[in-house]
Amino acid sequence: MNRLLHRILPALLVYGLLMLGTMLALAPLLWMLAASLMPPGEATGYPPRFWPSTVTFEHYAALFTRLDLGRYLLNSTLLAGAVTAISLFVNSMAGYAFAKFRFRYRDRLFRILLAAMVIPAQVAMLPLFLLLKQFSLINTYWGVIIPGMANIFGIFLIRQYLLAIPDSLLDAARMDGAGEFRIYWALVLPLCRPILVTLAIFTFMGAWNDFMWPLIVLTDSSMYTLPVALANLLGEHVQDTELMMAGSVLTVLPVLLLFVALQKYYIAGIMLGGMKG
């Protein structure tokens, strides 16, 4: 009896809750996948089905042939890829400067940047739109990329990582007569590899999942990213449940696979950001 109370009951409770939580977390995603493979009309039957009676890929085919989803997939990949590559370069240089150089106002400047993280991005959006309009960048890829090219959180993450690396390594390279850019490129960047991978995943996912800014900047439907295209598709095809689910799967799947493949780096990054923040 005592053993039951102290060992088995808590275990039942913990596992019961964990199973329930896992089920609730995954159920919407599993239903999305199942419904995307159902014949038209089956996802809106009653009682609801959890499994397709026959598996069909016709909705995926329709997305790529009739609804031009390949184009949006390309837009999303291109934009998220460009933002990631450029911001990684820009942020790592700045993070390196804050971590490894002494200069006037360094700490004050860094504190100002950190404090600015509480300013919601939406405050800047209206003037940013007008600014980009002046340069005819509305409805262009650059209009989406430019605001993401430098990122305070990215600079912060790189700086924190580099603080832990001893200066002696860099000094030795300087003694050997290596130029500053060469030191950054050939020594600092390889040292930062783990945090760069982490930051790359964060940035890519953030850019891929971003909705509000692409919605504002991209006015022509051929320029849409997947989330914008999906929200737009909902307007015309709200009745086509299975088709909408296939579109959702295609939007979610690339980032989900990226996470599953690089989970370790992603979770380490949250912990680093969370602990030191």
Interacting positions 147-166 with other proteins (CB under 8 A): 147, 149-150, 152, 155
What is the C-alpha to C-alpha distance for residues 150 and 103, in angstroms, rounded to an integer?
Answer: 21
Give how far Cα 188 sits from Cα of 77, 81, 134, 159, Å. 28, 22, 38, 11
Contact flag: residue 196 with other proteins (CB under 8 A) = no
Stretch that binds other proteins, among 51-59, 113-121, 161-169, 192-200 (CB under 8 A): 113-121
What is the C-alpha to C-alpha distance for residues 46 and 254, in angstroms, rounded to an integer?
Answer: 32
Stretch that binds other proteins, among 59-67, 92-100, 159-167, 191-199 (CB under 8 A): 92-100
- Give the residue, chosen from 9, 51, 58, 101, that forms a contact with other proteins under the rule CB under 8 A: 101
- Give the residue, chosen from 1, 4, 164, 275, that forms a contact with other proteins under the rule CB under 8 A: 275
Expressed in angstroms, the distance from the first to the final Cα of the chain is 47
Contact flag: residue 221 with other proteins (CB under 8 A) = no
Measure the CA dihedral 195/200/205/211, to 10°: 120
- Give me 228's structure tokens: 């914008």
What's the closest the beta carbon of residue 116 comes to other proteins, in angstroms?
A: 7
Contact flag: residue 126 with other proteins (CB under 8 A) = yes
What's the closest the beta carbon of residue 83 comes to other proteins, in angstroms?
A: 12
- Give me 203's structure tokens: 């940035």
